[in-house]
Structures are given as C-alpha cells and as structure tokens.
Amino acid sequence: MNVLEAIARDAFGRSPDRVQSVRGGDINQAGRIEIGGVRYFVKFKADTPPRFFETEALGLKLLHSAGAIRVPQVIHYTDQPDGERPAYLVLEWIDEVQPSRAFAAKFGQALATLHRHTAPTFGIDLDHLVDGLPQPEPHATSWPAYYRDRRIVPQVERARQLGRLPARRETALRKIIERMDELLAGLNSVPSLLHGDLWGGNYLCAAGDEPVLYDPHTYYGEREAEIAFTELFGGFAPDFYRAYQDAYPLDEGYEYRRPLHQLYHLLVHLNLFGEGYGASVDAVCRRYV
C-alpha cells in the first residue's frame, strides 16, 4: 500500500480519492491527499523522536489561538509508526498565490500583532527539536539568561561534539556567553509569542494577500530574535519591515544586537550543514569580542 494511502486510512478511516507527492523540506517527506473533494497536506517521517509531530501540532494550535495570523489547521497526527505507515501530521491544504505589493505590509502588521501576545516567562512547556537537533525549552524570567543557557550554550556544546569548534572559535564564543547580560543590556524584553523559525521558506501568501505561517518552533521569546532571523537569509520585502516598525517599533539598539540574535541560527546551521557556516559564526564573534 502507498504510504499516503496508508496515512489517509489511518487518519480518516478510508482510502483517499487522490494522492500526490509534494516538496517536504530537508527533514520530512510530504504529500497531498484528497478525500471527498477536500485536499490535505501531509508530512511524514520514518524515524521520528518522541513527540516530533505533536510538538509542531501544538505550536500551530498556539499560534492559531492568538488570532493574529493564519496557520494551517491541524487535522490529525501521530508519532507512533506502524508496519504500514510512518509517523505523520495532516494539515489543512492552503493554496499559495502570487502576492501583490499589499502582502508585505499586511504580513508585517500581522506579525507585530502576534508578537503582542505575551506570557510571564520565556520558553514554552514543550521540548523542541530544531531540524532534528535537541532544543530544551524550560522557562526563564530573563531573556539574556534564556538566550545564553537555552539557545547558545546547547548549540556550542553540540558543535564541540561534532568537531566544529576550533580553539579560536570556542574561545570567542565562550567570551560572548560570559558577556551575554552586558551585550543585551538595555533591551526591554517581554516574552512575546514567536513563530520561532521564521525564514523565507516558512510562510506563503494565500488568496486575498493573506499571510500564512507554517513549520513553527513556537515559544515565548524576545521578538528581536525573530526579526533578526528574517534578515539573516532574506526573503522579506522592505514594506514588511516598515509595517512592522509602524505597528510595534523595536527597541533602540536593535542594529547592534541583530548579529548576536542571528548567532543562534548560524550555530544551528553550522551543526547541521558544516563548516560552510563557520565563517559567519566567526564574523559575529569578532563583532562582540
């Protein structure tokens, strides 16, 4: 039996009318199934760790509950493979359309509205995997402490295990870790609801220039970290940033702190893809050490 057919039978109790493989990213395989005239997006993976799709499903539901920006509706998921099908996540299918110029501003405004949803502490009651790498998520009351202990330090330790920390790089990273409170001083951090992995490949434009977010690593964090990541690899129009700033201006000093908030994602990419990201990590270190 086809994997997508097996997933449809498990999730809906019947065979699909149509199935089709689609692009699923670096980690998962993906497909589209159609049942009774309704299309669904399916992500699946043969060797998932515990709570892999549950974490994503709960993150999508949390973003949806904020009512600020559209995310795909969660239909069904399981992290328990069986003999016929792997673990999977079934989501609402949303058609992507070509955006007009109005889209970028609507997107920036919607993200600012999302970031106004706050919590008492940084973190979330979930343990994430960031592209397959462990990401602990206990709570903290201080952003510098959270960013240091729950973001940077685990990735530095991972880089050491993988042999990607030459002595000069490790020394520089250790100095940044020691100075984190100083480097982030003056930032009026509020735990904001974040997508958590917002790059150009994790959003789309739906009908009516409606922005849609997907593939989240949701948590409550410093919103500067989210905006800084959008600037790391590009994919966001100037009107997006203008609209965001008009709706919810960033604190003074963002430009100075931006590379520091990008460092976490550069370390993740160093650990996932190797030394091709080493020079970018070193460049951030030189800025602050």
Sign of CA dihedral 29, 31, 35, 38: positive
Give CA separation, 270 vs 50, 160, 165, 215, 264, in Å.
24, 11, 10, 20, 10
Sheet holding 18-22, edge to edge: 18-22, 29-35, 38-45, 87-92, 74-78
Residue 193's DSSP bridge partners are 220
Beta pairing class for 210-213 and 203-206: antiparallel
Residue of 82, 197, 209, 246 marked catalytic: 197
Name residue 220's beta-bridge partners: 123, 193
Question: For this structure, is 26 an active site residue?
Answer: no
Rg of the chain, C-alpha, whole Å: 20
Nearest to 131 by CA among 270, 278, 283: 270
**Distance (Å, rounded) from C-alpha 238 to C-alpha 242?**
6
Q: What is the C-alpha to C-alpha distance for residues 22 and 35, in angstroms, rounded to an integer?
A: 17
Residues designated catalytic: 197
